Amino acid sequence: MVHFTAEEKAAITSLWGKMNVEEAGGEALGRLLVVYPWTQRFFDNFGNLSSPSAILGNPKVKAHGKKVLTSFGDAIKNMDNLKTTFAKLSELHCDKLHVDPENFRLLGNVMVIILATHFGKEFTPEVQAAWQKLVSAVAIALGHKYH
């Protein structure tokens, strides 16, 4: 089980509190689909993904991004218990969605980059470390029920 120190939790929750989760979610998913175009394989029915602006403006991308990041909020409320928190979602991603867990790592890294664009200097190495630890732990939790 991953343990987060008080400082790490503070770094994570303070930034999360200042985020527009809806917008950031769309941006994270959008950037994933642009920077790593093979990830589009899971979103064939999302309509126009033909250019970066099409992807970032795509309403289905925004809606799904919001869903994903809202779920990430659950992670932040349950940092000491990620595997249990994401057990059902893990099963879903394995059994129904067939998503390679590598994609969770890619999305986590994109999220960290977006946080850096939003928070600038405030996104210190220590703050980055706390967030990389969190996204990595979430990725592992989401992959935990794969069989």
Q: Which residues contact other proteins by CB under 8 A?
A: 30-31, 34-35, 52, 56, 109, 112-114, 116-121, 123, 125-126, 128-129, 132
From the CB of 136, what's the least distance to other proteins, in Å? Answer: 10
Q: Cα–Cα distance between 6 and 71 in angstroms, integer?
A: 22
Q: Is the CB of 95 or the CB of 126 nearer to other proteins?
A: 126
The type of residue at 95 is D
- In DSSP notation, 89-139 reads HHHIIIIIS---THHHHHHHHHHHHHHHHHHGGGS-HHHHHHHHHHHHHHH
Q: Cα–Cα distance between 45 and 115 in angstroms, integer?
A: 28
Is 147 annotated as a binding-site member?
Answer: no
Q: Is the CB of 135 or the CB of 142 nearer to other proteins?
A: 135
Is 93 annotated as a binding-site member?
Answer: yes
From the CB of 137, what's the least distance to other proteins, in Å? Answer: 14
From the CB of 147, what's the least distance to other proteins, in Å? Answer: 25
From the CB of 96, what's the least distance to other proteins, in Å? Answer: 29
Residue numbers in the known binding site for heme b are 64, 93
Residue numbers in the known binding site are 64, 93
